[in-house]
Amino acid sequence: MNASLGESVSTGRSGQGPEAAAERNHAGPRAHAADGHWKTDLEVLLDLLDLEQIGEDHFLGHHPEKVHSRTFGGQLMGQAIVAAGRTVGPERPVHAVNAHFVRGGDVTKPIEYRVERHRDGRSFANRTVTAYQNDQELFVMLAAFQDWSPGLEHATPQPQVPDPEQLPRVEESFTGLEDRLQMFVNAPHPIDLRYANDPAWILKGTGGTLDYNRVWMKADGRLPDDALIHVATLGYSSDTTVLDSIITTHGLSWGFDRIIAATVNHSIWFHRPFRFDDWALYATQSPVAAGSRGLATGHFYSRAGELLATVVQEGVIRHFPPRA
């Protein structure tokens, strides 16, 4: 989603997923040339998460070489998670992040991430990460860390859907709709997305509605053996399809209807360790839309049915129907 309110109206929304490409941070073919080396889309994403440390608890994040007009909110989430995590030992993983988007980022300039340490207790640690450009706040995130320990367990069960190997990559659903979905067709795909239901643009063609969405996703390749990178990649990916259910409930689609969408806040709770180069089912729904805002919730499940993470996002959603 957009990194702030006040974005221009478009027929898509920003992010990494197919419905999010209107505000991509980079666009082009499935690989990118850099210093004579062709990088895959996933390698480009990993570069984004490889922050430069420029001082104590002070980091610098960069944009890809090929950018769109606004910083993708998932990029801010992923980079901020890395910044916070680099100030805490690996034995104490992040268990919750709560972010607010203040204003849009300039994709021609790097982003500073300043980490404030609030607590380093026996079991818990707390951080605030603030993203800046030109000394202006773009984004603020609270992050909480906890030593892993056993305890009571229960979870909402995973929805029953086909296995990801039985489903096509999302790019295959663009066939015949390239003119409408050009911003998706030409977008990079560091995350392999596979819808278990018809995506918004297919529902649009059938006149259907749907109040939930189920999408298998994982990194499109192997990730490093660094648990923080797996968490940050999930954080990046959580901003892709999360608002789908708001518009599909009303029979609308990115690329077909005139919609403005911008993230207001985004929270994630991480429940157990995982690898995000393994398949995870992202099951989302929208409990409410009112006042030009929509709320969406999501659950990430492992293939074994374990609940890995819970997401809640609030976004501005404005629909401009065609004039009669």
Residues belonging to the active site = 239, 263, 313
Angle at 299 between CA 71 and CA 151, to 5 degrees: 120
Q: Which residues of 122-148 are buried (b: 16+ CB within 10 A; e: fewer)?
A: eeebbbebbbebeeeebbbbbbbbeee
Q: Three-state SS for 140?
A: strand
For strand 307-319 and strand 259-270, is the pairing parallel, antiparallel, or unpaired?
A: antiparallel
- Count H helices and E strands in the chain, helices first: 6, 14
Instruction: Answer yes or no: are the C-beta atoms of 301 and 272 closer than 8 Å.
Output: no
Q: What would the DSSP string read from start to end of 8-73? A: PPBSS-BSSSGGGBTT-S--SSSEEEETTEEEEHHHHHHHHHSPEEEETTEEEE---SS--SS-BH
- Return the residue matching tokens 């839309």: 289
Helix (H) or strand (E) holding 85: helix 73-85
Task: Give the side-chain half-sphere CA count within 13 A for 180.
Answer: 18
